[in-house]
Structure 1
């Protein structure tokens, strides 16, 4: 009987090793996917707006909506603006897309310049860490197949998440330096 248990344990360990190696190989392939090239100037956003209440991200150009996307945010997105590290809230305010990561743990990511000077000063007065590393990103690598099912819940730690195909479009249409405004609620003018 002991030999049978030992065999089962060894078999399980071997299967886990194969699964981890296979997962690592898939992740390496995913990370080698080239990010999209920048879109033509006529398609570039000059401003991004997030309406938290509507769970929408808008790509804007000259005050008009170019494209909009359903988003997932921090699990406590409706608890007001991000205050501190780990609060699972999405910031509110005016920021910029200040750098991008093609090798992100999620499918591509655009960094939002949170915390700004005001966020840092508020945190210093309160004696806490304001947090950071807030991104617009796709789904975690290896999870792209779930697509829009990710919208069933707000699952990030404060970031703004879209599907992988949407992230590729946003990446191509959002140059570094693009302003982003994150509001509790915003409705585009018709």
Structure 2
């Protein structure tokens, strides 16, 4: 009887383990990411530790990717130096890291045009996997596949500078 109980318990434990889903929250124990660089024209993002490239990613951008962001709704990804300033583990785009747009310069530019600068610019995953790589589709954010976003989310801490280039 004990053998049957042990076998039943073991089988149940294995069945439950097989049903477990992989967590989107990963651990990272490598070198600290000290800087993020985005080159919009090349559709590339780099995570750096000082001068060393740790990771390189292909990205999608806003639906109007050429040029700097000037106001809310223009579909452009901002250019300049910002910080990673917040995290959203419940993003509708899988996971997301907030970018400190707009800064004082961005606000002044938008106001000079009689517009609002907007906000909520993020590095994020995809809402629909088929969208990624099918032209630029965000409203000004930087998008990567969900699997890559899980790694980026683990590696990049709040306060990390990000340079977004044309």
TM-score range, shorter chain: 0.7 to 0.9
1:87 aligns with 2:74: yes
User: Within 5 A, what are the aligned runs for 1:39-50?
Assistant: 39-40=28-29, 42-50=30-38
CA distance in 2, matches of 1:130, 1:33: 38
Q: TM-score normalized by structure 2?
A: 0.83
1:166 aligns with 2:148: yes
* 1:43, distance to aligned residue in structure 2 (A): 3.3
Given the alignment, which residue of 85, 102, 116 partners 1:115?
102
Gaps of 5+ in 1: 1-31, 185-190
Q: TM-score normalized by structure 1?
A: 0.73
Answer whether contact 1:38 1:171 (CA < 8 A) is retained: no
1:63-117 superposed Cα distances (whole Å, 9 cap, x missing partner) = 1111010000001111x10011110000000000000000011010000000011
1:150 aligns with 2:132: yes
* 1:150, distance to aligned residue in structure 2 (A): 1.3
- CA RMSD between the two structures: 1.6
Structure 1 consecutive aligned stretches of length 4 or more whose deviation exceeds 2 Å: 32-35
Instruction: Report the counterpart of residue 40 of structure 2 in structure 1.
Output: 52
1:91-150 superposed Cα distances (whole Å, 9 cap, x missing partner) = 00000000000001101000000001111122222221011100000011xx24x3xx61
* 1:152, distance to aligned residue in structure 2 (A): 2.3
1:126 aligns with 2:113: yes
Return the structure number with greater helix share: 1
- Partner SS for 2:83: strand
Given the alignment, which residue of 61, 65, 77 partners 2:65?
77
Given the alignment, which residue of 20, 25, 33 partners 1:36?
25
1:4-35 superposed Cα distances (whole Å, 9 cap, x missing partner) = xxxxxxxxxxxxxxxxxxxxxxxxxxxx9754
